[in-house]
C-alpha cells in the first residue's frame, strides 16, 4: 500500500484524491495547505485523516511514502526539493518546473536520493492516447507527416487569476501548451530537433497566446494555446494514408481514425471517467517496483519541455 500526502488543497487535488480512492493499493492519508483552516476543511470534505497548516509537518509524517504536489507552478521547484530532501517520492502537477536548469536539478536530486519523480502529464496515460499511438505504430495512417493541436478558452480573470499572474507562474504555455508539447512527440516516439514560436503577451506580462512549430525527426508538429481566445481543443495526426482526430486532446475519451477519403473507419471511446486513475496507477506501480522514473513520462520528457518553454518565453 502506497500512502500519499497532498501539498496544495485545491480543486485539482480533489480529482487526484478521487483517483486514488479507485485503487486498491494506494491511499491519501494527509493534506497540507498554508492555511490550517483550508487544510482542515479540505480533509473533512475528502475524508482524509490528517491535515497540516504547513508542508514541513506533512513531510515529517513517517507514514507518507509519496507526495502529490498541486500548488501553483511558481512553487513547484521549491516544493519538489523539499519533498525529495525529506525522502518522499514525488508526483508534481504540470508544468513541473519553469526552466531546464530547474528540471535538471530536481531530476538529478531524485536519482541521488533513489526516489521516484514524475510530472503529472496524465494525458499520456489515457486509453484514447494509447489507442492513437497503437494505430500509428500499426501503420494505419501510413507515414506521419504533420500533427496539429489547439487548446484555448477565455479564462475568467477572477476565478482563474493565477493564469494572469506572472508571480504565480501564469501564462498559457505552462498551463495549456504543455499538453501538446509533451503529448504529440510521444505519439510518434520522436525527439524534437528544432522549434520556432510566436508569443503574444497579456497586459500583466504573461503569455496569453503562443503559436509554435516543432521539427521532429520525421514530421512537423504545430500547436497553439491561449487563455484569452477560444479555440478547438482537438489534435490531429496526419499520415500519408489517413489521419487521427483526438477531440479534447488533453482530457477527452475519444479517438477517431479516418482514411484518405475522410471516412471514419475506426473509433475508440472509453466513456466518462476520472482519467487521473491511469497516471496514479503508473506512479504506484513504479514505486512498488523500485523505478525512479516512468517509461511513459520519463525525466527527459520534462527536461526537453522545460528547455523549450524557457526558450519560447524569453523570445519577447
pLDDT for the residue numbered 272: 87
pLDDT for the residue numbered 315: 43
Residues 181 and 210 in one domain: yes
Cβ 141 vs Cβ 135: under 8 Å: yes
Which domain does 202 fall in, by range? 127-271
Q: Is residue 315 in some structural domain?
A: no
pLDDT per residue over 255-304, tens digit each? Answer: 999 999 999 999 999 998 999 999 999 999 999 999 999 999 999 999 99
- Cell 495547505 locates to 33
- pLDDT beyond 60 at 158: yes
- pLDDT beyond 70 at 103: yes
* Dist. CA 88–CA 97, nearest whole Å: 18
Supply φ then ψ for residue 60, to 5 degrees: -80, -10
Residues 194 and 213 in one domain: yes
Long-range CB contacts for residues 160-163, cutoff 8 Å, separation at least 24: 160/227, 162/72, 163/206, 163/227
Residues 187 and 164 in one domain: yes
Q: What is the DSSP string of 109-174?
A: HHHHTT--EEE--GGGGSHHHHHHHHHHHTTTT-SEEEEEEEEEEE--TTTTHHHH-GGGT-SHII
> Percent of the chain at pLDDT above 90?
97
Residues 66 and 89 in one domain: yes
Residues 166 and 118 in one domain: no
Joined grid coordinates for residue 299:
525525466
Residues 116 and 17 in one domain: yes
Residues 246 and 131 in one domain: yes
Number of domains in the chain: 2
Q: What is the CATH number of the domain that holds 149?
A: 3.30.360.10
The model's pTM = 0.96
Residues 117 and 234 in one domain: no
- pLDDT beyond 90 at 159: no
pLDDT per residue over 29-47, tens digit each? Answer: 999 999 999 999 999 999 9
Least confident interval from 4-18, 20-34, 159-173, 175-189: 159-173
pLDDT for the residue numbered 157: 85
Query: What mean pLDDT value characterizes the chain?
Result: 96
Residues 41 and 54 in one domain: yes
Q: Is residue 224 in some structural domain?
A: yes
Residues 39 and 109 in one domain: yes
Cβ 212 vs Cβ 197: under 8 Å: yes
pLDDT for the residue numbered 194: 96
Least confident interval from 38-42, 54-58, 59-63, 152-156: 152-156
CB-count exposure of residue 283 (10 Å: 0-12, 13-18, 19+): buried
- pLDDT beyond 90 at 62: yes
In this prediction, residue 316 has a pLDDT band, given cuts at 50, 70 and 90, of very low
pLDDT per residue over 190-233, tens digit each? Answer: 999 999 999 999 999 999 999 999 999 999 999 999 999 999 99
Residues 101 and 141 in one domain: no
Cis bond upstream, residue 95 (ω within 30): yes
Amino acid at each position: 500500500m502506497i500512502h500519499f500526502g497532498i501539498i496544495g488543497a485545491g480543486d485539482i487535488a480533489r480529482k487526484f484524491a478521487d483517483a486514488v480512492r479507485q485503487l486498491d493499493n494506494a491511499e491519501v492519508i494527509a493534506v497540507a495547505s498554508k492555511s490550517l483552516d483550508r487544510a482542515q476543511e479540505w480533509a473533512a470534505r475528502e475524508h482524509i485523516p490528517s491535515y497540516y497548516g504547513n508542508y514541513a509537518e506533512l513531510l515529517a509524517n513517517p507514514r507518507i511514502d509519496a507526495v502529490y504536489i498541486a500548488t501553483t507552478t511558481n512553487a513547484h521547484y521549491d516544493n519538489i526539493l523539499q519533498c525529495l530532501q525529506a525522502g518522499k517520492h514525488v508526483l508534481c502537477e504540470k508544468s513541473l518546473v519553469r526552466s531546464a536548469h530547474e528540471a535538471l536539478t530536481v531530476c538529478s536530486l531524485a536519482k541521488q536520493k533513489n526516489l521516484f519523480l514524475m510530472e503529472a502529464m496524465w494525458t499520456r496515460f489515457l486509453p484514447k492516447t494509447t489507442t492513437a499511438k497503437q494505430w500509428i505504430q500499426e501503420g494505419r495512417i501510413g507515414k506521419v507527416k504533420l500533427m496539429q493541436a489547439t487548446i484555448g478558452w477565455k479564462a475568467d480573470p477572477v476565478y482563474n487569476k493565477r493564469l494572469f499572474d506572472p508571480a504565480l507562474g501564469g501564462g498559457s504555455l505552462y498551463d495549456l501548451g504543455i499538453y501538446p508539447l509533451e503529448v504529440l512527440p510521444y505519439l510518434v516516439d520522436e525527439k524534437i530537433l528544432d522549434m520556432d514560436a510566436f508569443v503574444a503577451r497579456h497586459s500583466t506580462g504573461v503569455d496569453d497566446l503562443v503559436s509554435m512549430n516543432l521539427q521532429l525527426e520525421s514530421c512537423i508538429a504545430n500547436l497553439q494555446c491561449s487563455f484569452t481566445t477560444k479555440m478547438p481543443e482537438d489534435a490531429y495526426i496526419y499520415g500519408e494514408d489517413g489521419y487521427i482526430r483526438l477531440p479534447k486532446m488533453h482530457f477527452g475519451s475519444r479517438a477517431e481514425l479516418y482514411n484518405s477519403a475522410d471516412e471514419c473507419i475506426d473509433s475508440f471511446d472509453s466513456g466518462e471517467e476520472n482519467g487521473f486513475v491511469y497516471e496514479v496507477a503508473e506512479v504506484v506501480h513504479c514505486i512498488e517496483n523500485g523505478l525512479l522514473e516512468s517509461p511513459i513520462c520519463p525525466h527527459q520528457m520534462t527536461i526537453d519541455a522545460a528547455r523549450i518553454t524557457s526558450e519560447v518565453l524569453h523570445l519577447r
